[in-house]
């Protein structure tokens, strides 16, 4: 699956649900959203069929997302189906971490190899206010469970937000080094359901690096970046006692669209060639109407061929996606 700019899709993001057990203020209103009806969600078999076709088309990495993917009880079966393909793709998961204490082992046994946990603060009151749920302890326990299950390295995704958690950049890194997890700071993107994002308010990659430089010496990590969106830095405390690796993802100010290798499948079976795409390719209808593998693959190729050069957030014509992040998948 190749686009007009020569980029080849090798990384498939699969949203398995739009539902979530948190209500993060930057993602959705307190009452939640109009969830996708259950009969419109792809079944485990349908999801695995699309993954199989994508793998045959060159996809080598499959990341399961939501909403919150752990709210789906058949996630292990979906992962096992994907992991059992030949050639087997690398399987990863992005989660808020709640529920990992019970399922990290079974997910690992199903074929999961890597995990990213979203965590924006280590302060319980702040976590409760940000997510509208008092679940910080569950998330931290989930991270420990993932480590114990051998999902190494556990990556932590943190979105610094002005006046909310941007004073925790240094303390989060210290915690990550102590905990043996890899922290990645991600610039906030205009993906909230309330359309409240503002470029002026966004905490930029440069600001994050300046904060880090106040407490650590920073060296660019010696490795090829490729299509990895994270610029990785080796950070060492000023007394030289602690060292670790931190990623900074400048999604807005340092876009990596020119090297994008991603394609997304929503939980209701719509293929998206970009996070910010204004259009989707309906795979669910043909899947349920008896389309052959070849017919579905043609649709997938056509979808990717129409991919734009980038997200265009800085262009005057930019429009946020019609669906919120929880429905698109991270």
Which residue ranges make up the site for ligand SF4 (CB under 6 A)? Answer: 256-257, 260, 262, 274-276, 310-311
Q: Which is nearer to ligand SF4, 286 or 310 (CB)?
A: 310
Q: Which is nearer to ligand SF4, 26 or 256 (CB)?
A: 256
Minimum gap (Å) between residue 63 Cβ and ligand SF4: 12
Bridge-partner residues for 264, per DSSP?
Answer: 13, 272
The 8-class DSSP code of residue 6 comes to S
The 8-class DSSP code of residue 8 comes to B
Backbone angles phi, psi at 94, to 5 degrees: -110, 125
Provide the angle, in degrees to the nearest 10, between the axes of the packed helices 124-131 and 136-148. 100
Q: Contacts for 227-234 with beta carbons within 8 Å, 24 or more apart?
A: 227/10, 227/11, 227/256, 227/259, 227/260, 227/261, 229/256, 230/184, 231/205, 233/209
Q: Between β-strands 270-272 and 281-282, what pairing exists: parallel, antiparallel or unpaired?
A: antiparallel
Q: Which is nearer to ligand SF4, 1 or 107 (CB)?
A: 1
C-alpha span between 78 and 16 (Å, rounded): 9
Bridge-partner residues for 94, per DSSP?
Answer: 116
Q: Which is nearer to ligand SF4, 117 or 275 (CB)?
A: 275
- Dig out the tokens for 188 from the structure: 């906030």
Asked if 100 and 146 count as a contact pair (C-beta separation under 8 A), the reply is yes
Provide the angle, in degrees to the nearest 10, between the axes of the packed helices 44-56 and 293-305. 70
Q: Which is nearer to ligand SF4, 166 or 228 (CB)?
A: 228
Q: Which is nearer to ligand SF4, 176 or 257 (CB)?
A: 257
Minimum gap (Å) between residue 265 Cβ and ligand SF4: 13
A 10 A CB-CB count for 194 gives: 11
Q: Which is nearer to ligand SF4, 55 or 191 (CB)?
A: 191
Minimum gap (Å) between residue 172 Cβ and ligand SF4: 24
Minimum gap (Å) between residue 312 Cβ and ligand SF4: 9
- Dig out the tokens for 240 from the structure: 């030289």
Minimum gap (Å) between residue 275 Cβ and ligand SF4: 4
- Dig out the tokens for 132 from the structure: 């509208």
Minimum gap (Å) between residue 21 Cβ and ligand SF4: 26
Minimum gap (Å) between residue 253 Cβ and ligand SF4: 13
């Amino acid at each position: 699956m190749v686009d007009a700019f020569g980029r080849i899709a090798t990384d498939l993001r699969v949203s398995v649900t739009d539902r979530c057990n948190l209500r993060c203020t930057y993602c959705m209103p307190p009452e939640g959203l109009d969830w996708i009806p259950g009969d419109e969600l792809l079944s485990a078999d349908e999801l695995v069929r699309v993954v199989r076709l994508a793998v045959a088309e060159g996809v080598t990495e499959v990341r399961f997302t939501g909403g919150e993917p752990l709210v789906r009880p058949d996630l292990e079966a979906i992962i096992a189906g994907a992991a059992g393909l030949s050639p087997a793709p690398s399987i990863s998961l992005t989660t808020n971490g709640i529920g990992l204490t019970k399922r990290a082992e079974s997910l690992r046994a199903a074929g999961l190899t890597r995990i990213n946990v979203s965590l924006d603060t280590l302060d319980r009151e702040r976590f409760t206010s940000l997510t509208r749920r008092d679940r910080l302890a569950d998330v931290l326990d989930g991270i420990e469970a993932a480590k114990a299950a051998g999902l190494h390295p556990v990556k932590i995704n943190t979105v610094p937000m002005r006046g909310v958690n941007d004073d925790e950049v240094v303390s989060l890194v210290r915690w990550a080094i102590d905990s043996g997890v890899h922290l990645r700071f991600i610039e906030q993107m205009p993906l909230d359901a309330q359309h409240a994002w503002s470029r002026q308010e966004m905490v930029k990659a440069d600001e994050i690096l300046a904060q880090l430089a106040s407490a650590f010496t920073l060296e660019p990590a010696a490795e090829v970046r490729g299509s990895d969106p994270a610029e990785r830095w080796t950070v060492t405390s000023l007394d030289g006692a602690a060292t670790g690796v931190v990623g900074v993802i400048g999604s807005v100010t340092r876009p990596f669209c020119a090297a994008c290798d991603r394609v997304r499948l929503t939980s209701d079976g719509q293929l998206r060639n970009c996070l910010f795409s204004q259009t989707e390719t309906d795979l669910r209808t043909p899947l349920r109407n008896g389309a052959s593998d070849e017919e579905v693959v043609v649709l997938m190729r056509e979808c990717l061929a129409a991919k734009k050069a980038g997200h265009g957030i800085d262009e005057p014509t930019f429009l946020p996606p019609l669906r919120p992040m929880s429905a698109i998948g991270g």
